Amino acid sequence: MEEENVNKTALVTGASRGIGAAVARRLARDGFAVLLNYARNLEGAEAVVHAIQAEGGRAIAVQGDVADPAVMTVLFDRAEEVFGGVTVLVNNAGVMRLSPIAQVADSDYEVIVNTNLRGVFNGMREGARRLPEGGRIISFSSSVVGVYGATYGIYGATKAAVEAMTHVLSKELGPRAINVNVIAPGPVETDMFMEGKSEELVAAITRMIPFGRLGQPDNIADVVSFLAGPDSRWITGQVLRVNGGMI
């Protein structure tokens, strides 16, 4: 946000754990009031809220599935009621279910597309309607886009679509000085990334990273902080590949 904008409120979807939780905590330290959205993990969301409040920050948690357009409207309404309106939207909520394309179940396809693509679209649309001049929309892709590894077909397709929508929306919202960017993390040590992966597979993936380690959620939160702040005012329509040099 421009520094003169008094109201600083961030809406972070999927903020009960992992990258989303780290982002919420970092933006709170940056002076943002934070509305944390979560789908099912109430305990995790409340823990993040309490951690923010313990450090003197302001935060609330609101449950809802971002794939439902009505939920996104509710999230913006609630942020307006409590904090005065959203100035930074972070579309973080996502799911990862991996399978060769020939073996993808219809149910998995629907969950991945509904959360990773439709959920981000719902956020972008509501943000485009309601963010003030100088606002920020920050979404998440993945460095899978570029690597295109086996079993990542549907997941990678949704993330590529998020990048496409980011490029388009940045042009549409440029006249209102709203910055629209996307972060494409590499492998980050979160529950979602680690689930179902053997130690051997994790080691093999780590060897692909020039820095020789998996990313940490705070590494990604640092970049969100930059894009949400005044130093990024001349950056829009960009994909930042935060991946330790993986690609």
pLDDT at 5 over 60: no
The mean pLDDT of the chain is 96
pLDDT band at 6 (very low <50, low <70, confident <90, very high): low
User: ∠ CA 120-123-126 to the nearest 5 degrees?
Assistant: 150
| pLDDT single digits (tens) 61-97 | 999 999 999 999 999 999 999 999 999 999 999 999 9
Q: Give the per-residue pLDDT at 196.
A: 83
pLDDT at 2 over 60: no
Within 13 Å of residue 198, how many CA atoms lie on the same side as its CB? 3
Percent of the residues in the chain that have a pLDDT greater than 90, as a whole number? 94
DSSP 8-state secondary structure symbol assigned to residue 222: H
Is the CB of residue 127 less than 8 Å from the CB of residue 89?
Answer: yes
Q: Other CB atoms closer than 10 Å to residue 44's CB: what's the count?
A: 19
Q: Give the per-residue pLDDT at 20.
A: 98
- Which residues are identified as catalytic? 155
Provide mean pLDDT across the span 34-59: 98
pLDDT band at 1 (very low <50, low <70, confident <90, very high): very low
| pLDDT single digits (tens) 99-122 | 999 999 999 999 999 999 999 999
Percent of the residues in the chain that have a pLDDT greater than 70, as a whole number? 98
| pLDDT single digits (tens) 176-231 | 999 999 999 999 999 888 888 899 999 999 999 999 999 999 999 999 999 999 99
Q: Give the per-residue pLDDT at 3.
A: 46
Provide mean pLDDT across the span 14-35: 98
Q: Which domains does the chain have, with CATH numbers?
A: 9-240 (3.40.50.720)
The kind and range of the H/E element at 29 are: helix 18-29
> Could you tell me which residues come within 8 angstroms of residue 159 by beta carbon, excluding any fewer than 6 positions away?
116, 140, 141, 142, 144, 145, 184
- Give the least confident one: 33-37, 121-125, 197-201: 197-201
Q: Which amino acid is at 204?
A: A
